Amino acid sequence: MGVTEVIGLQWGDEGKGKISNIKSANADVVIRANGGANAGHTVVKDGEKYALHLLPSSIINPNCVSVIAAGVVVDLEILYNEIESLRNRGVQISGHNLKISSRAHVVFPWHKELDQVYEDMRDNPIGTTKRGIGIAYSDKALRVGIRMGDIVSSDTNKIVDLIKASLKPKRALMGDDNTDFDKYRQKFNLYRKYYAEFVCDTEAIVQDAIRNKKNIVIEGAQATGLDIDFGTYPDVTSSSCTASGIAAAAGIGPRDIGDVIGVAKTYTSRVGEGPFPTEQINEIGDKIRELGHEYGTTTGRPRRTGWLDLVWLKYAVKLNSVNRVVFNHADTIGAFDRINLATSYLYDLYGDGEEKRIDFVPEALEKCNPVYLNMPGDWGGIKSLKITEDMTEDEKKKVERAKMFFEFIESYLNDGEKNIRKRKVRILALGWGPGANDIEFLI
Ligand code: IMP
C-alpha cells in the first residue's frame, strides 16, 4: 500500500484537511510529523465538527493508529486539553490508538513568552502564531531541548535540572527569574503519569506498519512556502514542511514514499509577512477574500490574497515530487470573468532596473514581478467538470471554460507536456465548495 503524504503547496490554509480526512478514513496509521500547535484543522464526522491542532485527523477513528512523530513540537497543555475535550465528546483515545514519539520535543510556556519577545524585538516581525514554535525548535537545534521521553521517564527533579540548564542562557531576554519550580514539579508529576500511556518509540511502530504493507498517511502541517529551507525565509515557520522533510521527521526513508498529494487553491493566500508576487491589494484581492472566506480560523485576521502563481506552484511540485494535485476553491475563482495566472517572473536581481524573465523561483522572491497569462473565467454555479445532457448551452460553455483552465494548469506543471499519459503530475481532485462532500475526483 505504501505511504501517502498530503502537503500544502502554497503558504498554508490550502484546505489540506479535506483530502487528508478522506485519505485518513481508510488508513491504518496516520502521522503528524512537523510543526506544533501553530497548525489547525477541522474534522467532521457524523455531522460533528472537531477542531484539532496537534492530533492527526484520524484520532476520531479508534481503529486507526494516530502518531505524533519525532519532528513535532508538543505543547503539553494544549495537547492535554485537546485530548480531554475530545474524550468528553465520546471520542476514544488511549495508548492503543495514540502514539507520541519519545523523541518529539516539548514546547514550554517560556517558549511562547520568548516568541513574543523576539517578535517585539524585530524591525520586521514575522507575524508568528506566538505558539512558541520557533523557540522550541531553536532549543532543539541548540541541544538544550527537552523531549517527551524525558517527560515520562525522568523524575521531576531531573526535569527541573534540565529546565534550569535550558533557561540559563535565556535569562537575559526573559528579565527577572520568577520561574516557580515547585509549580513545575507538581505539573510534571501530573504530565509524567498522564503521557506515560502514549509516549513510545513510534519509529518502530511505523517501520512495522511499512513492513506489513499497511496503509499509512502523513499529514503535512503548514506548507512549502513556510518551509524553513525552501520557503520565503525568514518569513517562514521553523520546521521542514516538504515531502522529504516530513517523511524524515516521521522516521520514514524516501524509498518508502508512494503518492505525494499536493494541495493548492486556485488563487493564493497567506497570513503573516513575506514576499507575495501575485498579491492583489485592491478590489480583486477583496473579492477573493470575501468569496473564499479568507479570514484566519482562530484569529479572524483577514488573509492576504492574490492570483494563482504557477511559477511558485511548479517549484513546489518539483521540490516535493508531487504526483497528485488537489485544487480547492475551483468555484471561487470561477466568479471572475477573467483570471490571471502568473506564468513567469521579471526578476531584477541587482535592483538596477535590468529585468530578466525567469520561470523558476529565486531566493530573492521579493525582487520578482509576475507576468500574467489572462484566461477566461465565468463559470459561477457549476460544481463539476462533467458535462451532462440536462445542462443548458450556457452551463456547458461554463464547464468548457473551467476545463480549459485546469487543463492549462496541468500542462504547465508538466513543463508543457501535451500528452496526458506522459504527464507525471495529474490533478487528482477539485474542491467545489466548503463542505466535506464538495470534492470531485478527476482520476
Ligand atoms: P510560527 O510557525 O508560529 O513561527 O509562524 C511563522 C509563520 O508561519 C507566520 O507567518 C504564521 O502565520 C505562519 N503559519 C504557521 N502555521 C501556519 C498554518 O498552519 N497556516 C498558515 N500559516 C501558518
- Residues 105 and 73 sit within 8 Å (Cβ to Cβ): yes
Single-letter code of the amino acid located at 373: L
17 lines ligand 1 (CB under 6 A): no
- Residues 73 and 35 sit within 8 Å (Cβ to Cβ): yes
> Would you say how long the chain is, in residues?
443
Expressed in angstroms and rounded, the spacing between residue 177 Cα and the centre of ligand 1 is 29
C-alpha cell read off for 273: 509577512
State the pLDDT at residue 1: 59
215 lines ligand 1 (CB under 6 A): no
pTM of this structure: 0.95
Q: Which atom of ligand 1 is nearest to the CA of 239?
A: 2
Q: How many helices (H) and strands (E) does the chain have?
A: 14, 19
Q: How far is 149 from 104, CA to CA, in rounded Å?
A: 8
Q: Can you give 136-179 as a three-state secondary structure string? A: HHHHHHHCCCCEHHHHHHCCHHHHHHHHHHHHHHHHHHHCCCCC
Distances (CA, A) of 334 to 262, 338, 434: 21, 9, 15
* CB burial of residue 68 (10 Å; 0-12, 13-18, 19+): buried
Expressed in angstroms and rounded, the spacing between residue 13 Cα and the centre of ligand 1 is 10
- Residues 61 and 94 sit within 8 Å (Cβ to Cβ): no
State the pLDDT at residue 176: 66
> E-strand spans in 172-254?
199-200, 216-219
Expressed in angstroms and rounded, the spacing between residue 219 Cα and the centre of ligand 1 is 16
Helix, strand, coil proportions of the chain in percent (round to 5)?
35, 25, 40
Q: How far is 322 from 406, CA to CA, in rounded Å?
A: 17
Q: Which of 4, 1, 9 is nearest to 259 (CA)?
A: 4
Q: Which atom of ligand 1 is nearest to the CA of 133?
A: 4
129 lines ligand 1 (CB under 6 A): yes
Q: Which atom of ligand 1 is nearest to the CA of 115?
A: 4
Q: Give residues with Cβ within 8 angstroms of 320, minimum separation 6.
A: 7, 9, 224, 242, 243, 244, 260, 262
12 lines ligand 1 (CB under 6 A): yes
The SS3 assignment for 191 reads: helix
The yes-or-no answer on residue 13 being catalytic is yes
The yes-or-no answer on residue 359 being catalytic is no
DSSP 11-31: SS-S-HHHHHHHHHHT-SEEE
Distances (CA, A) of 375 to 345, 385, 401: 18, 17, 9
Distance between first and last Cα of the chain: 18
**Residue minimizing CA distance to atom 2 of ligand 1:** 237
**Residue minimizing CA distance to atom 11 of ligand 1:** 128
Q: Compute mean pLDDT per 10 residues along the chain, 443 residues long, and list them.
A: 92 92 92 95 83 94 96 97 96 98 96 94 93 97 96 87 87 75 86 97 97 97 97 97 98 97 98 96 98 84 96 98 98 98 93 90 96 98 96 97 98 96 97 90 96
Cell 496509521 maps to which residue?
29
DSSP secondary-structure letter at 438? -
Q: Which atom of ligand 1 is nearest to the CA of 129?
A: 3
224 lines ligand 1 (CB under 6 A): no
* Element (DSSP H or E) covering residue 310: helix 310-319
DSSP secondary-structure letter at 72? B
Distances (CA, A) of 163 to 95, 107, 179, 283: 27, 12, 10, 51
Q: How far is 314 from 133, CA to CA, in rounded Å?
A: 28
Substitution site in 10, 13, 38 for ligand 1 pocket (most atoms within 8 Å of beta carbon): 38
Cis status, amide bond into 234, omega within 30 of 0? yes
Single-letter code of the amino acid located at 255: R
**Residue minimizing CA distance to atom 1 of ligand 1:** 128
Expressed in angstroms and rounded, the spacing between residue 281 Cα and the centre of ligand 1 is 21
Expressed in angstroms and rounded, the spacing between residue 401 Cα and the centre of ligand 1 is 35
Expressed in angstroms and rounded, the spacing between residue 73 Cα and the centre of ligand 1 is 14
